[in-house]
Structure 1
Amino acid sequence: MRADRLVSLVLLLRQHGRLSATALALELEVSARTVLRDIEALSAAGVPVYAERGRHGGFALLPGFRTELTGLNHDEALALLVAGSRRGAQAFGLGSALASAMLKVVDALPEGHRDTAAGAAQRLLIDPETDLLSRRLVAEEVPDEIAAEVLRAVFAGHKLRIHYAAVDQTPKWRTVDPIGLVTVRDQGYLLATRSGGDRTYRLSRILAAQELAEPAQRPDRVDLDQVWQERSTRFRAGGDQVTVLVRMNPARREELLGTALAVHAEEPDADGWLRLKVTFQDSRHAEWALWQLSTDAEALAPLSLRTSLRTRAAAIATCYGVSS
């Protein structure tokens, strides 16, 4: 751990020229006292780091102390830097490793490539934390020790024992054969088999994990994209799906189709509105989707959905009908 931190410290000084102990501590997520000890260790090892006192002082390396890597052109370096801005690695507990790798890549670039690639990367933003409506996109938290254990089992091809909390169920221990990991909109999933059957586990619901020594029963090669597509299709086809007959404003049609699983029928109504027969994942999904459309959509069937929407609307009306 300390060796990695010392390397990161040197790379930070190479890229920024001069940094205070406080700034280094923030970057490395340690205390300023730890930074000072690390500086002493680097000096003792012969790394030419020196201190400049004063208001704008800090620590710096002697000019010319750097290495360069050839073979990467500007576009390749830019692609790496843009990839480093993505948050998918966070879902697998690789955020710190990715940040460290980006430091090394930037430091190893030739002088001209380093400056132009870093400047160009500042003009691109991938998957920001909020959308245009200022809705914060919250990534699921997966403890580092759990993510590391899952990763080891996946890469080593060993069986994995997990303490898993399924929805509305008491957490249970399961032994699975891991196939791979997938991240979708900052949600991480473990694809595995259990007793020969396909299983998909949300990483954030794994309470504990233990890599076993026994080899996993899985193919040597796998097309994760195909496996994910197949499991997604089966998931949408199963469960407590509900089919809804809805009458709606055609201007909101695309919004409805963006949330429904399937459209079975569509025809114009007498007043210019549309009448559609669509399927949702379950009754809660159907209620949520139609509620977003407000008075631009009316559920005609089933009766249970109309009742739940009416109950929700009545509760809202009651809440706002009483003066505070």
Structure 2
Amino acid sequence: MRADRLVSLVLLLRRHGRLSAATLARELEVSTRTVLRDIDALSAAGVPVYAERGRHGGFALLPGFRTELTGLNHDEALALLVAGSRRGAQAFGLGSALASAMRKVVDALPESYRVTAAGAAQRLLIDPQTDLLSRRQPAEEVPDDVVTEVRRAVFAGHKLRIRYAAVDQAAKWRTVDPIGLVTVGGQGYLLATRSGADRTYRLSRVLAAEELDEPAQRPDRVDLDRAWQERSTRFRTSGDQVTVLVRVDPARQADLVATALSVRVEETEEADADGRLRLETTFQDPRHAEWALWQLATSAEVLAPQWLRDSLRGRAAAMVTCYEASS
């Protein structure tokens, strides 16, 4: 890993000309002390790197210096394959490998292409962390050692032992046969089987992982897209589903459709007198139903079941009490 870091350090200096130790440390995700040790190692190996003193000083390479050390390692090549989304690379623990690989790609380009590519890259932003409403996109942090161990087991075809914390349950160890990794909206998932049954694990809930030597029981080839679609369908059609009859403002109908599992327009000859539509909606479970209808505030009214009306009324009453007390 240090060899890759030294190459990345050289490529950074070649691309930017002169960089401070602090900037290099930030780019390489190491300490400034590590950067200084790496600079000494490069000098000892004959790489013409020198220090410039002063306020705008830093480290630089002698003009004209080139190196052919641009080969991609395994993780860097893998990072490029999933680089359609930087957040996807981050979800699989390949963020730093992606940054290193892109430096090598840029360095390998002819000079004229390098300038053009750098300029074009500044004009594109893919998958930002916030949208136009300044809402931060959900992204989950997974410890590098955990995701690395999971990734190794997936690629090697070995059984995997994970300590997993399911929702509202204490964490416990389980041994699974890993099939593949999926990222959706910055969230990573492990597709696996356990005792022959399909299982899907959220990577952010894997507290520890250990690759085992025993071969995993799984097919040689897999269609991950199809597997994900099948599991998604089963997820939507399982559990404690809730059917809700609701009156909704037509202007918010799309919002309701976007979050419900299914929506059916009640067969009536006309809308209610106030123009609202009556819809029969299905949600994954009671918590999902309550959350979705609460987001619509007064744009929707639950007609049934009664327990959901009572729950939303209790929430609203608690909100009123809170603001009355503060005033």
| TM more than 0.5 | yes
Structure 2 residue runs of 5 or longer lacking an equivalent are 70-79
Number of the residue aligned with 2:224? 224
Q: Give yes or no for contact 2:82–2:88 (8 Å, CA) kept in 1.
A: no
Q: 1:245-277 CA deviation, whole Å, 9 max, x = no partner?
A: 011111111111011101133344232211110
**Quick check: 182-191 or 262-271, which moved more?**
262-271
Number of the residue aligned with 2:309? 306
Confirm or deny that 1:297 pairs with 2:300.
yes
Confirm or deny that 1:112 pairs with 2:97.
no
- Give the Cα separation in 2 of the matches to 1:67 and 1:2: 17
Q: Give yes or no for contact 2:302–2:309 (8 Å, CA) kept in 1.
A: yes
TM-score for both structures, normalised by structure 1: 0.92
Q: Give yes or no for contact 2:82–2:89 (8 Å, CA) kept in 1.
A: no
Q: 1:41 to 1:142 in 2, by over 3 A?
A: same
The letter for the 1-side match of 2:316 is A
Confirm or deny that 1:158 pairs with 2:158.
yes
Number of the residue aligned with 2:271? 269
Q: 1:323 to 1:26 in 2, by over 3 A?
A: closer
Q: 1:54-82 CA deviation, whole Å, 9 max, x = no partner?
A: 3322221122223589xxxxxxxxxx799
Q: Which runs of 4+ in 1 moved over 4 A?
A: none
Q: CA RMSD in A?
A: 1.9
> Helix, strand or coil for the counterpart of 2:312?
helix
Confirm or deny that 1:278 pairs with 2:281.
yes
Which residues of 2 match residues 132-151 of structure 1 at below 5 A? 132-151=132-151
- Give the Cα separation in 2 of the matches to 1:82 and 1:113: 23
Q: 1:277 to 1:138 in 2, by over 3 A?
A: closer
Which residues of 2 match residues 46-65 of structure 1 at below 5 A? 46-65=46-65
- Give the Cα separation in 2 of the matches to 1:68 and 1:38: 19
Number of the residue aligned with 1:74? none
Structure 1 residue runs of 5 or longer lacking an equivalent are 70-79
- Give the Cα separation in 2 of the matches to 1:82 and 1:209: 22
Q: 1:115 to 1:81 in 2, by over 3 A?
A: farther
- Give the Cα separation in 2 of the matches to 1:167 and 1:151: 23
Confirm or deny that 1:252 pairs with 2:252.
yes
Confirm or deny that 1:21 pairs with 2:24.
no
Q: Percent of counterpart pairs with the same letter?
A: 81
Q: 1:264 to 1:84 in 2, by over 3 A?
A: closer
Count of matched residue pairs = 314
Q: 1:190 to 1:323 in 2, by over 3 A?
A: closer
Q: 1:120-174 CA deviation, whole Å, 9 max, x = no partner?
A: 1111111211222222224211111111110110000001111111111222211
- Give the Cα separation in 2 of the matches to 1:128 and 1:322: 39
